[in-house]
Chains A and B, each alone.
Chain A
Amino acid sequence: MAMTMTEKILAAHAGLSEVRPGQIINAKVDLVLANELSAIVAIEEFSKIKGAKNVFDPHKIVIIPDHFTPNKDIQSAKVAKKVREFALEHHTLYYEVGRMGIEHVLLPEQGLVRPGQLVIGGDSHTCTYGALGMVATGVGSTDIAVAWALGEVWLKVPPTIRVEFKGKKKPWVSGKDMILYMIGRLGVDGAIYSAIEFCGEGIEELSVAERLTMANMVIEAGAKNGVFAVDAKTEEYVKAATNQPYTVYTSDPDAEYAQTIVYDMDDIEPQVAFPHLPSNTKPISQVGEVTINQVVIGSCTNGRIEDLRIAAGLLKGKKIHPRVRCIIIPGTQKVYLDAMKEGLLETFIQAECVVSTPTCGPCVGGHMGILADGERCVSTTNRNFVGRMGHVTSEIYLASPAVAAATALRGKLADPGQL
């Protein structure tokens, strides 16, 4: 029977010749990811599993302390310590501060995630890796603990929604704008329990970095996973990261989709998601006068070198607005180093931005840029829920690195095309 990419990958990992939407399967996982906040709960649950002494395969378990690290306070330091001890005791893959990065920037960069895999992570943005033609999805800590023990996860096969982007990007439009545009139309539960399969000319022209940005935010429409076909760009990216083998799956031409949605790239301009939902989007031409206190450029959504290049291109030779604090957070140590070699860090510092070590930090309301009451932040992150980045009355506006950099210069929401 005809199947979608998602169905084929799930079937292969469940040892079945075919699966159907709604079917519950036990699937073998290729990699189990946890950060320090999901790991700390998972370690406790793992200790309660009767008969579980060792993890199923230490090479398929990766633990990355990235949320509140470098440790923001004593409580966070205790969490990181306990997680580190578990990782060392069980010989799992582990990336310490100095070698770590934001998990969803680091794993593709390190070649740990590859086409055809099934990966679960104790972090909702694990869906990022679908950009590489695989099934990746977020789960909770108990799921992580059980996957550590058994190497398996129970999953309900999702129906697939096909989302086609017709035509080519307009100037200053990026993958971030395309995914915000989609979420604005679908709503924050428009793809609930479903897979989203992206296709069309608008997708084909995107860099792998932009595809990772888009896949990162499918959870913001409620989706289980987002998936992109593997093409020459994907293969080039993966081969540069690893010499490990991978499997390419393609959707059958007559595969069944729950629905097909078509967007026209001509209708898409840079987008801003207003508080307090990622779906509350407006095109940049209609944002009005919104003054801004802080700009954050980074995160698992937009913390890649391509993102920093775009921001630096706009900030080069200029100073940010005197009332604005601009925080740049490279996603990994490699991104940081590349940014240094390319002179981007100097551009940022000359522009009077601050450059942070890799961390999730402010995105999750942890540290490195928490907002006071009433403050407004434009952020390249993925969520703008109430209180997400600080005080309950603060506001987050989600946008691309280009819109964020333009806003840092103007001190108010700004169109990079109008600078």
Chain B
Amino acid sequence: MSADLPDELGHFGRYGGTFVAETLMEPIAQLREAYAQARQDPAFLAELDADLQHYVGRPSPIYHAERLSRELGGAQLYFKREDLNHTGAHKINSAIGQALLAKRMGKTRIIAETGAGQHGVATATVAARLGLECVVFMGEVDIARQQPNVQRMQLLGAEVRSVASGSKTLKDALNEAMRDWVTQVDNTFYIIGTVAGPHPYPMMVRDFQSVVGREARAQFLTLTGQLPDALVACVGGGSNAIGLFHPFLADEDVALYGVEAAGNGLDSGMHAAPLNAGKPGVLHGNRTYLMEDADGQIIATHSISAGLDYPGVGPEHAWLKDTQRATYVAVTDDQALEAFYCLTRSEGIIPALESSHAIAYASQLAPQLTPAQAILINLSGRGDKDMATVTALAEDAG
């Protein structure tokens, strides 16, 4: 099935592609070429593997949440612990790969966009380690709600550039990073944080993130002797989800669930769930499902979690939805928050608000299955960065 995609032009069915200004076409062609060589170069792959092992701390474990499983009274829940990675989320897997590619291409300056700040921190981290100049674009709204990550990026030597245009969140940070890239394209490598953007980004970021699913599949087989019945991951742009799903695409008995942010509810209009409530269009270099109005203008999104607060989604997810290989559902801010507390209190693991969306859906799914069945959830990041948001909400609630 879609394990062989994209095609040479970056298409996943009708999705994906390369929709950028002419100035970027040649730099993108160079990137495509450099990546095509690197992914087949044993030396590059060996360096990447070594970094993932010794710097990131891979493989990350999978953990059987026995107490939570018992409480929910259904399937066994297992977590792929990407929250234990260096810098606290799955984002570093791809940031390392792209930074090694930047070095290989002789680029001296790194830019990135960030929403929750996890990708920004991961990028600032690898840039510090490789001695590369680093500028991270971040919406004003996100800077306010993810202060600890802003401070971490600055501590790591990155410049955090505040973006005040549009909705002042992740999509606007991406616009601004694209504008910067086109201006300094000779020396700059743009490390995109998710599986969106012009080809080859959706493929390249997926490839780097697929280490999650490859490890999880092997670990799960070793641990239980079989494959899980279902995988669950949150979807903003969709990098942690595709990383987990991709190595399982051919395992047709494994159900795949991507969980979008329903914000205040899909009916409220205040959400970030393009696969559930959007339609196909073109934004940020690719064709995919978007949150847009009847005139094709991108509309403001809302989610409690900055990392899911994005009006688009990776084109491979659009393809997986249309082919029905994966199912895309949505949970609200309140449900995610409840799952956040639930995992914290039952298992002693504080998840990121993004990952809490996956946990919330898994908690709905588990009672529908038997105790002999298993759900593997991508615990894509840890919740330290969300303390201020959660505390403020608890105070509001009195």
Q: Answer yes or no: do A and B interact.
A: no
B residues lining the A interface (CB < 8 Å)? none
Which A positions have Cβ atoms within 8 angstroms of B?
A: none
